[in-house]
Amino acid sequence: MIRAFTRRALGPGCFRFHKCYQKRNFLSHGLEKAHTVPVRTMLVLGASTLISGLLILQKETISNDAGPIENRESSVEVDKSVSPFAAILAPPEIPLTTKYTLLGYGPRSVTFLSFKVYALGIYVANEDLPLMPKILNSTYLRKAFLDTDSTKSHSENVETALKDAIKSRVLVGSLIDGGVRFMAKITPIRNTDFNHLKDGLVKSILNHPECQKNQEAVSRGLQELKDAFTRKGSVPKNDDLIIELQANGSLQLSYRSRKQDECTLLGRVDEPLIGKFLFSQYLGGDKPLSPPTRESFVQRVKTLV
C-alpha cells in the first residue's frame, strides 16, 4: 500500500494523489480507533510524500508559467504576479536601437474595477541620461517653470514641477524634443490579447488634452498604430509589449513571449505626436496612467539633476 501511495504522489499529477490521500485519510479514522499502528505510519509517510509532491509540482508550474527570469540582482519587482523588470534592456535580446535603463516603474490599475491590469516600466536610453539634467537646467526652463520657489533647491523644484499637472507635460515634451529617447515595457498582470493592448494605447493617446488641436496628425498616427499591431490573438500574462520612442520621434513596437523565449518586431508609427502624447500620458498630467510609475520616475530624475 505504501509503495502504491508513493507512486501516485510523485506521478503525473497532484489530483490523483489528493484523492488517494483523502481516501486513506477517511479510512484511517475508523482504523485508528482500533489502534492500528501501521496505518499511522502510513499517514506520516503519506504526509511527507504529499509535501514532496507539492514541491515538485510547484517547481514545475513556476518553470512552465514564468519562462526566462531576469537576474534578480539587477532587476526590480514591480508586481508579484509578473517577473521582475530588468534594470537594463538592450539589443540583441530585445529589438531596440540602443541600451536602456529603467527609471520608473509601477502597476497600471483600473480604479473603478479595483484591479491591476499591467505592470509598466519607463526606460531612458543610456546615452541620453546626461541630456536630461542639461535640458532641465536650461535657462528658459529654470526661469519659466522650475526654480520658482527660492526656498527649495533646484532638484526639489524639478520634483515639484514633474508632479504638477501642467508643468509635467511641458517638461516631458521638452525632454522628448531635446532628443531623449524613451522606452516603455508593458507586462500584462492578467491574460489579455493584442486587440485590448492596442485599444488601450489608442484610448490613452486620445485622452491627451492636445489631441483636439492636432486632429489630422493624430488620426493619421493612430491608423499607423493600429496597423503596427500585425500580430493577433491572445497575450498571456507576464509577456511583454515593448514600445521604443526613437530619436526621430517614431515608435517601434515589439512583443516578447516568455514561454517561447523570443522577441519579435510588430511594427512602427512614424507620426511623432503619437509617441510624444503617449509618454506624456505615462509621465505627465494630473492623472498619469500609473501614478506609482510617475512617482518613481520623478524620484530618479531628481537625483540626476
* Long-range CB contacts for residues 98-102, cutoff 8 Å, separation at least 24: 98/125, 98/126, 98/127, 98/181, 99/125, 99/126, 99/127, 100/124, 100/125, 100/126, 100/181, 100/183, 100/244, 101/125, 101/126, 101/129, 102/76
pLDDT given at position 58: 37
Rounded distance between C-alpha atoms, residue 109 and residue 117, angstroms: 6
pLDDT given at position 2: 39
Place of cell 516578447: 256
**Cβ partners under 8 Å of residue 57, min gap 6:** 13, 14
> Tens place of pLDDT for every residue, the chain, 305 residues?
434 433 433 444 443 334 443 433 433 344 334 344 444 444 334 444 433 443 333 333 333 344 444 444 599 999 999 999 999 999 999 999 999 999 999 999 886 666 899 999 999 999 999 999 999 999 989 988 899 999 999 999 999 999 999 999 999 999 999 999 999 999 999 999 999 999 999 999 999 999 999 999 999 999 999 999 999 999 999 999 999 999 999 999 999 999 999 999 999 999 999 999 999 999 999 999 999 999 999 999 999 99
What are phi and psi for residue 78, nearest 5 degrees?
-90, -40
Between β-strands 100-110 and 115-125, what pairing exists: parallel, antiparallel or unpaired?
antiparallel
pLDDT given at position 143: 87
The string over 98-122, giving b where at least 16 C-beta atoms fall within 10 Å of a residue's C-beta and e elsewhere, is: eebbbbbbbbbbeeeeeebbbbbbb
pLDDT given at position 114: 62
Rounded distance between C-alpha atoms, residue 64 and residue 58, angstroms: 10
Residue type, 305: V
pLDDT given at position 12: 42
pLDDT given at position 112: 63
Indicate the SS3 state at residue 130.
Answer: coil
pLDDT given at position 109: 87
pLDDT given at position 27: 35
**Cβ partners under 8 Å of residue 212, min gap 6:** none
Rounded distance between C-alpha atoms, residue 118 and residue 78, angstroms: 10
| pTM as predicted | 0.76
pLDDT given at position 65: 40
pLDDT given at position 115: 83
Indicate the SS3 state at residue 164.
Answer: coil
Residue 95: half-sphere exposure toward Cβ, Cα within 13 Å: 17
Q: How far is CA 233 from CA 113, 188, 258, in A?
A: 24, 14, 16
What are phi and psi for residue 60, nearest 5 degrees?
-65, -40
DSSP letter assigned to residue 212 = G
Rounded distance between C-alpha atoms, residue 206 and residue 277, angstroms: 9
Cα–Cα nearest to 248, from 185, 301, 191, 179: 179
pLDDT given at position 73: 54
Rounded distance between C-alpha atoms, residue 78 and residue 195, angstroms: 24
pLDDT given at position 144: 84
Cα torsion 100, 101, 107, 109 to 10°: value is: -50
